[in-house]
Amino acid sequence: MTEEELNIAFNEAYQRASRTKIQLPPDVMLHFYAYYKQAIHTEGSGFYNPSGDSELRNAFKLNALFQVKNLTPNEAKLKYIELVNIHIVD
């Protein structure tokens, strides 16, 4: 798959995930979150710091991000696409 094809597939997967009405378990949502953030991560931008009012929720987000920190953006895009294909049925 070329980089352009990967980007198209990732954007389509993101659109599918954004439109779904399926209520996913929190752990699956954290995987979506972490893969998405790693996929759009650009070099030199530093580590993403989650925002929100809940310190506990932010801690879970940071943990999810830490678990995917060694993935390249392209690897994260593939993982995100895989998650969509498993959990989001049109």
37 sits in which H/E element: helix 26-40
What single-letter amino acid sits at 63? N
What is the DSSP secondary structure assignment for residue 69, as one 8-state letter?
Answer: T
pLDDT digits (tens, 9 = 90+) for 25-73: 999 999 999 999 999 985 545 556 666 678 888 899 999 999 999 999 9
Residue found under tokens 């895989």 = 82
- Short-list 12, 9, 80, CA closest to 41: 80
| pLDDT, position 43 | 53
| pLDDT, position 41 | 81
| pLDDT, position 47 | 58
Q: How far apart are CA 54 and CA 71, in angstroms?
A: 27
| pLDDT, position 68 | 95
Averaged pLDDT for residues 21-27: 94
Q: Which residue has the higher pLDDT, 52 or 77?
A: 77
| pLDDT, position 12 | 98
Q: Which residue has the higher pLDDT, 74 or 54?
A: 74
What single-letter amino acid sits at 73? P
